[in-house]
Structure 1
Amino acid sequence: MPPRGVTCHRGESGKVAPVTTPSRPPGPVGAPADPAPAGAEPALATSPHGLTSAEVAQRVARGEINVTDNASSRSLWAIVRTNVFTRFNAILGALFVLILITGSVADGLFGVVLIVNSLIGIVQEYLAKRKLDRLALLNAPTTRVVRDGELVEIPTAQVVLGDLIELRTGDQVPADGTVVSSAALEINESNLTGESDAMPKAVGDPVLSGTVVVAGSGRFPAAAVGAQAYANKIAAEAKVFTRTRSEIQSSVNTLLKYITWIIVVALPLQLWSQSRAIGDQGWREVIIRSTGGLVGLVPEGLVLLTSVAFLLAAVSLTRQQVLVQELPAVEGLARVDVVCLDKTGTLTVGDIVFEDLLPLDVYENGDLKDALGALADDPNANGTLQAVAHALPAPAHWERRDSVAFNSARKWSAAEFAGRETWVMGAPDVLLAEDDPIRERVGELATTGRRVLLLSNTDQQLSGTELPGGLVHRALVVLSEQVRPDAKDTLNYFREQGVTIKIISGDNPTTVAAIARRVGLDVTDEQVVDARTLGEDPEELREIVERTTVFGRVSPEQKRSLVRALRMNGHVAAMTGDGVNDALALKDADIGVAMGNGAQATKAVAQLVLLDGKFSHLPAVLAEGRRVIGNVERVANLFVAKNVMSLVAIVSAALFALPFPFLPRHLTLVSAVTIGIPAFFLALGPNKRRYVPGFLTRVLRFAVPAGVVAGLVVLTSYLLARAHYGVPAELRRAVCALPVDGVTPENPACWQPSTAATISLLCTAFWILVVLARPFRPWKVALVGTMVGVAVLAFVLPIGQRFFEFSAPLPLLGQSLLVGAGGALLVELVYRQAPGMRRAAGS
């Protein structure tokens, strides 16, 4: 796939020159002196006919293939393992087995929920994996190689050591090697060096993977492929240490760690207290009541819903051409307060466009355009001439007799036309005398970020590649980098959100600053720095990175150091880029964003890939991240409040020598209608609130006191009902003991204390849900109303009463509702007093 901003020229390739092994000139800065891998043949005696099928098969068998491990998603087994083999699944699974042993199948309902939760997680992640893998496959690059004497196009990953690779304009070099054939081949090595000037490549010159062909064509045998190739070495170095930090996941993991220790302590306490309180009713009753408390301590759906929220956000973003390679990156961008941009490929498309033709004398403008159009009508046109040709059609009756192609060393091109003058276009600093006043005008245009070339003519004929004499300077050709049409609006959006912009580029700082101003950034001269005056120590860069907006002439290592300096200053930094020279900086940033048509090494280390290269997708990613953060916070509050309530109930039962107030089926009902089902919808609903730091602190400040309130409500309601309703204490063992065969006690009065506690808990828990669902929207009102209706049916329908063992005479119902209402009032007070709760409310 051709890289960004370059039009593929499908011209004839040059003839293959005899293979030689000249001494190689030094490669780009930081590149290895010899790209051949250790143990490779000292010289690849590549035939002009390329490898045979048998030779390819031998190299594949030896593993000498251009494959690296850059998988964008987990394996199916890893997905199953992550969703099934968790500490809480193990705890719930053990409790489920104990419940089955007692014969009280109805109280094992939480086990079904456990299985369903795991299946949902597996299916959701697998479907997301398939979609992400298909997208990655569709964006895989291809390479032209000569095999069995024929030129074929194959996936880049199938290139083998020794393959004769053909390069054309627009290609990305897939492996390392040495040029054996060149037809004006020029390669842009800015991916490696940060310098934008193309380098001419003659026979014997080295080429390195990750670079881009900008002119001409050529061939070379692959001397280093796969992990041994230079670009892949950079990608591997970066990928090894890549870890996307997620505040949500870190906070949830911290919660789970604490809850694990609480369960370890609560388990023996619960067994002891229930043996003491109802041991005379049999071991089955002890296990059932003990399990009821422990099930309430397990946040079985929290991890699942967090993962599902990330996954569905990632799938949603793929519809907008954003490939999420690490799920926490969806959240990460919402926390970013500094975005570092590379100019080329991010603010600009990478193409240059013809902007204007400025006459320098009385020559007619129309004639000048004809001459320029004829000059650009070149079958071997480089990027500059292609930009001119796109704007100015070739005139009729201009017959080209001779020409000199553009060369980076000459910095000019020329064409001689039958019956007309010879026309030359090139760099002003080459064609103009040192004291020519035209230089001043060229300088003025250059400070605006434009590229300026000089158009001249002469009546002398061309003689080889020698610059003709007698040149008369006719006009200035003004070109400019094509600014992305979405860049200005996107930067304005980030500015409105309080996100600082830093532009870090390998290009001239004056040019970069001019581009920055064109996209709406307010950049003063004091905010522009030539990075060649700076060092590479992040500690030394901490001060200057705060007060500087534009960095030019930045080396790849300096890009990395600038990102590190920002992070050392406490910023959450995102880095965008498209070149290999951006890879390490992307890796060290909190969030790396690569352009989909950039270098493979860059895409390999990035957490986000903009498949169509549109910078304007970033606000959508930001919005998804905000939605995930805000909604998971709501969900976490629900689960933690339930855990705290269960802990209070366990401790209270131990202190007062009481049976645990609930059967496991009661907590399953409460969890389903006030937490599980609502949490699923709340986790996936819209939420536009800005990121507010302190996820875990904010959750604990509300959920802990709200959970304590719910626990005290349960204790109060249970004690009141036990004192005034149900079966007298002296008859409970005889009337309410669980029979050996597991049959439910026939006397509904045995159910009344637990029924009262469940009613009061539902009232309080529903108000916690109402508080966390604010601000209200019609769909939220419908959600809460539906859940209340389901809960009411469990008490009203005979089948529900029998299954859940509910019995609520009107006086008991009124008493329980009153206690629950008191709990709801206290929850409202907690919400109003909790720091930041209302300010952090989403939409």
Structure 2
Amino acid sequence: MEEELKGLSSSDVAARVARGDVNVDASVKTRSVKQIIASNVCTLFNAINLVLACFVLVTGSYKNMLFMIVIVLNTAIGIIQEIRSKRTTDRLSIIASTKVEVVRDGVRQEIAVDEIVLGDLVVLGRGDQIPSDSTVVHGTCDVNESLLTGESKLVRKEPGSQLMSGSFVNAGTVYAQVTHVGADNYAAKISAEAKEHKAVNSEIMNSLNGIIRFVSIIIFPLGAILFAREYFTGAYIELNQAILSTVAALVGMIPEGLILLTSTVLAVAVVRLSKSKVLVQQLYCIETLARVDTLCLDKTGTITTGKMEVDRVVTLGDCGIDEAHGAFYSIAGADEDPNETAQAIIDYYQDVIPEPGAARVGRKRANGPAQPVKRLGIKRAIPFSSDKKWSGAVFDTGASYAMGAAQFVLGKKYEAVRTQVEELAQNARVMVLARVEGFDGDGKMLGDPQPLALIAIKDQIRPTAEQTIRYFIDQGVDLKVISGDDPRTVSGIAQIVGIPHADSYVDATTLLSDAALENAATCYQVFGRVTPEQKKKLVQSLQAAGHTVAMTGDGVNDVLALKASDCSVAMAAGSDAARNVAQLVLVNNDFASMPKVVAEGRRAINNLQRSASLFLVKTVLSMVLAVCFIVLPWQYPFQPIQMTLISAFTIGLPSFVLALEPNKDRVKGKFLVNVIVRSLPGSITAILAVLGLNIVSYTTLGLDYAQVSTMCVLATAWVGLLLIVRLSFPFTPIRAALIVVVIGGVILGATVFPTLFGIEPFTQPMIVAFAVAALAAVPVFNVLYQAFGSWHAKRQDELV
């Protein structure tokens, strides 16, 4: 044994370093800042707008390049968000310690964690985090593996036992030989998978990208045909005019402001949530959580606080309750280093009455002792041992007691109390108090133990857990509890907080195949003794069944599932790994903050759907008109600067105002479908108005291009106003003020800056034509809006 405890020699260490068997950080690296900037700048979206800007630059009409401001802002926001995400991910580390004690050449020395080599002999004591997977070669200890496995009970480790990196030594000291280093470590594998890049699962983002991809496919062929028709076959249109009108058509097709609006609205939600102690680490997760239909909860840290508390004390036989209280309190208090169970007992009684001579007044628990309890004097204390599973004491009165696991304390007499123990054990940890004759020199019990009382110690449930669970049930969200603890205990706690069908539970150790796991995901509500890999597979199985899944957790054992979920939520008091990989972090560690996040998501999605329809009016209008003016013999009736006027007052300003209003309605339907349905009435009305004005103006009234363009710009703004009015129902003071500002802004641009926006003075024929088009647009728009709205509402009802 002495040879084994000398550790590696210096030459052995040098040889292992040369082979690369060192505990270096070999986890997945995130993209560099340079790569992030390049990926956000060099996009098809930016390339299209840059090409269009270059064409405008050739004409020398610099005012028509103002649309590039929005493009620059879009790119800047994307870069900032991704760099922020990168920095968060780079901080992800499961192994927190930086120094460890090893034995080399027979001498104990302290080295950095990343200097450990394969085969090193490490010395680990109470409170130490295990830096690398190892095997115990000498000594015994109790290890807390809850961060890795979710199992809250301490695990006894003896020579030959395996130690997992990332777990903590709770008691004892051991010498352990390192069996894995670097990327081969258990914790490193979890960390590496957690750091891998994950695509954002956002319906809004996917919809916007789909629109951009569609526009990108048709924009240049359509633009080339339109330009060729105007310049080569049109009625003597100058080159610069042909370029500007073609660019106007193409710019109008791109909803560039919609991406900026989306980022801004979600950024405002982030600020609002921060005031409620919720840290948002990924913008689009707000939207995702509002769409979640399945919520997976980790028991510890989410439903419970992670602490233990006494539930009740039950006396047996003729034992008095005062004797039971005094014995429990005194034995627990005699331990100089109480474990979590003993500490729960101490807290239970200290919260009832202060220690003798103390100045404070303790608060009385609802289920606490009716009378103050005092600690009794102790002649001899028998400390708790994980081997014997009990502790004891000889009091000054001469009475001797033992307290611990009933089977270990009572032995053959356990059958007499089995029924009561098992009843209490459904959702609690149960210990028995027994009177004994005394203890021998080795601390063993003497005589037959006489059971006096049982004490049930349970996980402390968050006061707001039941209310929050009820909220999600009312919203139609399916709840699953996934934990590393005993499934019976988890089921009991789940039933207490009101999770439906919580009595339907399964022990994950019995799920030996992926098929069994997938089947269990839909059949059970409570899962116990689940490994980190199984948690991840459960989430993926639910996703494969078509569910949008959110996962809450606080330990390293939750990291893989958090990463796999559509929306991940961690408690700030949890592990660094869970916090850094999660999209949402509850800073106040209160699960009750979740409804606020859902409410913010609903406000963002519903308002974005309403506002996005304004952008799609311009996109659909520009596409259809571009096709029409390939056939018609006239010049496309807009220039880029005129589209800027329309975008600013009938799209940009109202969309931002409407998108930031309160809105807690449940999210219904698909984002893109909802937006298109709302936009089509305005698009169709505007198309008809523009085509009608062109036909009448050129064939009957004999107006020139500048006059026709002026009427088309104002007619499009008018239709945009009609849509804003409908979207503003019911009216509020801010919505009424918005309509006034929109009208005033368009009039101001047309009258004060006519040259900038290419607005011509109205003649009598122009007044008549515009008035007829504007009046006709009102009933056409309202009929279309009502028809599309009724069809869409009926379709949504059918899909529910």
Q: Deviations over 1:180-215 (max 9, x none)?
A: 886x73113344455443112346644212324444
2:642 aligns with one of 666, 677, 680:
666
Cα-to-partner distance string for 1:217-276 (whole Å, 9 max, x where unaligned): 668687756534312202323554744422112222211111111203211111112114
1:107 to 40, 64, 67: 64
Q: Do the aligned partners of 1:235 and 1:604 also contact (CA within 8 Å) in 2?
A: no
1:638-676 C-alpha deviation (Å, 9 max, x unpaired): 222211111222222221210111122111111111122
**Cα shift at 1:688:** 1.7
Contact 2:572 2:589 in 1 (8 A): yes
Match for residue 241 of structure 2 among 285, 289, 305: 285
- The answer (yes or no) to whether the contact 2:681–2:788 under 8 Å persists in 1 is no
Pairing 1:195-594 to 2, within 5 Å after superposition: 195-202=151-158, 205-215=161-171, 224=180, 227-237=183-193, 239-240=195-196, 242-276=198-232, 278=234, 280-377=236-333, 378-393=335-350, 395=374, 398-407=377-386, 409-417=387-395, 420-432=398-410, 433=412, 436-447=415-426, 449-523=427-501, 525=503, 527-538=504-515, 540=516, 545-594=521-570
Query: Could you say if the C-alpha distance between residues 192 and 101 of structure 1 is closer, same or farther in structure 2, counting changes exceeding 3 Å?
Result: closer
Matches within 5 A, 1:692-711: 692-704=668-680, 706-711=682-687
Aligned residues of 1:21 and 1:204 also touching (Cα < 8 A): no
Change over 3 Å in CA distance of 1:718–1:79 after alignment to 2: farther
Aligned-pair Cα RMSD in Å: 3.9
3-state SS of paired residue (2:476): coil
8 Å contact from structure 1 (residues 536, 561) kept in 2: no
Q: Structure 1 counterpart of 2:343, which letter?
A: Q
CA distance in 2, matches of 1:680, 1:688: 17
Change (3 A) 1:138 1:415: farther
Deviations 1:394-443 (A, max 9, x none): 75662453423231x32212234456333211111222325642222212
Contact 2:23/2:113, CA 8 A, preserved across alignment: no
Encode CA deviations 1:307-333: one digit per residue, 9 max, x unaligned. 333444345434444444443322211
Alignment partner, residue 819 of structure 1: 773
Contact 1:135 / 1:323 at 8 angstroms: preserved in 2? no
CA-to-aligned-CA distance 1:352-380 (integer Å, 9 cap, x gap) = 11233322244443343332222112112
> 1:140 deviation in Å?
9.1
In the TM superposition, what is the alpha-carbon distance from 1:340 to its structure 2 partner?
A: 1.9
One-letter identity of the residue aligned with 1:470: D
User: Helix, strand or coil: the match of 1:674?
Assistant: helix
Tell me how far 1:708 sits from its aligned partner.
Answer: 3.1
1:829 aligns with 2:788: no
Counterpart of 2:738 in structure 1 is 783
2 CA distance for matches of 1:163 and 1:535? 35
Cα distance per residue 1:740-778 (max 9 Å; x no partner): xxxxxxxxxx63211111111110122223334445443
Question: Equivalents in 1 of 2:123, 2:736: separation in Å?
Answer: 63
> Residues 291-312 of structure 1: CA distance to partner in whole angstroms, max 9, x if unpaired?
2212111222223333333444
Secondary structure of 1:392's aligned partner: helix
**Structure 2 residue 636 is matched with structure 1 residue 680:** no
User: Which residue of the partner structure matches residue 795 of structure 1?
Assistant: 750
Structure 2 match to 1:3 = none
The alpha-carbon distance between structure 1 residues 64 and 440, as it changes in their structure 2 partners (threshold 3 A), is closer
Partner of 1:753: 708
Quick one: structure 1 residues 694 and 451, their matched pair in 2 at CA, closer, same or farther if it must change by over 3 Å?
same
Whether contact under 8 Å (1:144, 1:167) holds in the other structure is no
2-structure distance, mates of 1:164, 1:674: 69
Q: CA deviation at 1:385?
A: 0.7
Distance 1:806 1:462, change over 3 A: farther
- Alpha-carbon contact 1:626-1:687 (below 8 Å) kept: yes
**Secondary structure at 2:538's aligned position in 1?**
helix
SS at match of 2:448: coil
Structure 1: gaps of 5 or more residues: 1-16, 23-42, 729-749
Structure 2 residue matching 1:485: 3-state secondary structure: coil
- The one-letter code sitting in structure 2 at the alignment partner of 1:759 is L
Closer/same/farther in 2, CA of residues 112 and 476 from structure 1, 3 Å limit: closer
CA distance in 2, matches of 1:223, 1:66: 16
Q: Is the 2:312–2:456 contact (alpha carbons within 8 Å) kept by the matching residues of 1?
A: yes
Pick closer, same or farther for the CA change 1:537–1:405 going to 2, 3 Å: same
- Deviations along 1:545-578, one digit per CA (max 9) or x if unpaired, are 4443223344445434433332333222222233
- Segments of 5+ residues of structure 2 without an aligned counterpart are 356-373
Distance 1:628 1:802, change over 3 A: closer
Letter matched to residue 490 of structure 1: T
Q: How many Å separate the matches in 2 of 1:181 and 1:612?
A: 42
Given candidates 142, 145, 154, the residue that maps to 1:186 is 142
Cα distance, 1:210–1:830 mapped onto 2, change above 3 Å? farther
Report the secondary structure of 2:463's partner residue.
coil
Residue 655 (str. 1) matches residue 655 (str. 2): no
Match of residue 11 from structure 1 = none
CA distance in 2, matches of 1:222, 1:600: 24
User: Do 1:352 and 1:383's aligned partners in 2 also have CA atoms closer than 8 Å?
Assistant: yes
CA distance in 2, matches of 1:441, 1:287: 88
Alignment CA distance shift 1:143-1:545 (3 Å):
closer
More off after superposition, 282-291 vs 591-600? 591-600
> How far, CA to CA, are the matches of 2:653 and 2:400 in structure 1?
79
Distance 2:155 2:643 in 1: 71
Q: Residues 62 and 230 of structure 1: is their aligned pair in 2 closer, same or farther, counting only changes over 3 Å?
A: closer
Q: 1:275 to 1:163 in 2, by over 3 A?
A: farther
Residues 626 and 690, structure 1, Cα contact 8 Å, conserved in 2: yes
Tell me, in whole angstroms, the C-alpha distance in 2 between the residues paired with 1:333 and 1:96.
38
Shift in Å, 1:619:
1.6
- Give the Cα–Cα distance (whole angstroms) in 2 for the partners of residues 153 and 791 of structure 1: 74
Taking the aligned partners of 1:789 and 1:18, their CA distance within structure 2 comes to 91
Distance in structure 1 (CA, Å) of the matches to 2:310 and 2:239: 87
How far apart are the structure 1 equivalents of 2:780 and 2:672? 22
Match among 35, 45, 48 for residue 91 of structure 1? 48
The residue aligned with 1:30 is none
